């Protein structure tokens, strides 16, 4: 499953390649309450087919009507990119379903060969962060290396948008927990890779959409070189597999590195990585261990949920808080173990 931006761009490019006029719509700015944030994309073809969204539906309906009735070239003055606003007045806000006086600013861009969508899609597929600069006077696009995220920047004659590679999850170890974690990550549009060199897990790679590797975990980490859109989670409980992969992951740009295990085993792991492998305190501080938010998890599915929630929190820049709130109003570290008696990824609440 691709992320929504990629789906929009790929559909828009396919329609354009088939000879259909296509309008690419970008949310550039919002004021007040808004259903979709800046940077949201939508594509509409001349038949009124759409992918993506810019509001709760009413703005889409108006744009579809205009494209079908008037054509892409007419909606965009003289066939050039056009800036429009919806919800400026209270009447418009009510008409277009915008909440509480919200205002949405959009750039409407008629696609052409100068839009460079194939090149943009190729760059994101190769995990390159890209800045797309649209000349509002000519419709010409330039692509340059850029930061992976950012809100659109609109000036009098230029719209700058940012596109990064798809978020990626590397899972060390296969099994029930791994399967639930992968299913959740796929549903959240992560690119998912499972590394499992142990021969007794020969049937673990059967989940559609997951890339399966038999490499040693540290070899895989070195080959993939985790970037700022990559999370790494170690699930094997085997130091020979987990530790070497964690060392390389902690020395990479991965936004999240975690490992399951009890607090005692996590402390032993940190000591082992410091004493025997020379990891610095700053590197060890980046290790999420035990992995996962504390939600009283007992089943593999619940543990996977707690881990994926922490991964998403890290992705979204939510800082960790190292305590757990309890009914008496005090704070304590979680002390619940896995119901089966094996180590559970109890963790601190974020």
Domain tally for the chain?
2
Among the candidates 140, 163, 186, a domain finishes at 163
Residues 141 and 82 in one domain: yes
Encode pLDDT of 284-309 as tens digits: 989 998 999 999 998 999 999 999 99
Encode pLDDT of 132-176 as tens digits: 999 999 999 999 998 777 789 999 999 999 998 889 999 999 999
Residues 150 and 209 in one domain: no
Residues 130 and 185 in one domain: no
Residues 88 and 199 in one domain: no
Structural domain of 142: 4-163
Residues 201 and 137 in one domain: no
CA dihedral in degrees (233, 239, 244, 245; nearest 10)? -20
Residue 128 buriedness (CB in 10 A; 0-12 / 13-18 / 19+): middle
Residues 252 and 292 in one domain: yes
pLDDT at 97: 58
Residues 145 and 199 in one domain: no
pLDDT at 336: 33
Residues 149 and 173 in one domain: no
- In the predicted model, residues of the chain with pLDDT beneath 70 are 1, 33-34, 56, 88-101, 202-206, 320-350
Distances (CA, A) of 344 to 61, 162, 281, 304: 49, 39, 24, 11
β-sheet bridge partners, residue 42: 25, 52
Query: CA–CA separation, 79 vs 69, rounded Å?
Result: 16
Among the candidates 163, 189, 221, a domain finishes at 163
Residues 101 and 207 in one domain: no
pLDDT at 88: 59
Cis amide linkage into residue 124, ω under 30° from 0: no
β-sheet bridge partners, residue 86: 104
What is the pTM (predicted TM-score) of this model?
0.73
* 344 in a structural domain: no
């Amino acid at each position: 499953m691709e992320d929504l931006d990629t789906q929009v761009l790929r559909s828009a490019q396919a329609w354009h390649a088939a000879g259909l006029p296509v309008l690419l719509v970008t949310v550039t700015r919002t004021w007040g309450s808004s259903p979709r944030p800046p940077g949201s994309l939508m594509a509409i073809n001349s038949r009124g087919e759409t992918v993506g969204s810019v509001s709760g539906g009413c703005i889409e309906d108006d744009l579809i009507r205009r494209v079908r009735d008037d054509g892409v070239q007419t909606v965009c003055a003289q066939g050039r990119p056009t800036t429009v606003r919806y919800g400026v007045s209270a009447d418009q806000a009510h008409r277009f379903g915008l909440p509480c006086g919200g205002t949405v600013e959009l750039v409407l861009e008629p696609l052409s060969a100068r839009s460079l969508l194939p090149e943009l899609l190729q760059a994101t597929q190769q995990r390159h962060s890209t800045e797309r600069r649209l000349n509002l006077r000519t419709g010409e696009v330039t692509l340059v290396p850029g930061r992976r995220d950012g809100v659109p920047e609109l000036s009098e004659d230029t719209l700058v948008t940012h596109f990064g590679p798809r978020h990626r999850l590397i899972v060390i170890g296969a099994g029930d927990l791994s399967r639930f974690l992968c299913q959740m990550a796929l549903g959240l549009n992560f690119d998912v890779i499972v590394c499992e060199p142990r021969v007794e897990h020969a049937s673990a790679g059967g989940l559609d959409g997951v890339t399966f590797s038999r490499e040693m975990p540290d070899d895989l980490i070195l080959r993939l070189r985790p970037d700022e859109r990559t999370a790494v989670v170690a699930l094997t409980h085997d130091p020979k597999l987990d530790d070497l992969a964690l060392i390389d992951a902690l020395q990479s740009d991965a936004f999240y590195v975690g490992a399951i295990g009890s607090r005692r085993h996590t402390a032993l792991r940190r000591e082992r990585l410091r004493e025997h492998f020379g990891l610095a305190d700053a590197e060890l501080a980046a290790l999420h261990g035990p992995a996962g938010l504390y939600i009283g998890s007992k089943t593999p599915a619940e543990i996977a949920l707690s881990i994926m929630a922490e991964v998403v929190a890290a992705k979204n820049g939510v800082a960790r808080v190292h305590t757990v709130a309890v009914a008496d109003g005090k704070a304590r570290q979680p002390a619940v173990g896995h119901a089966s008696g094996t180590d559970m990824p109890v963790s601190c609440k974020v």
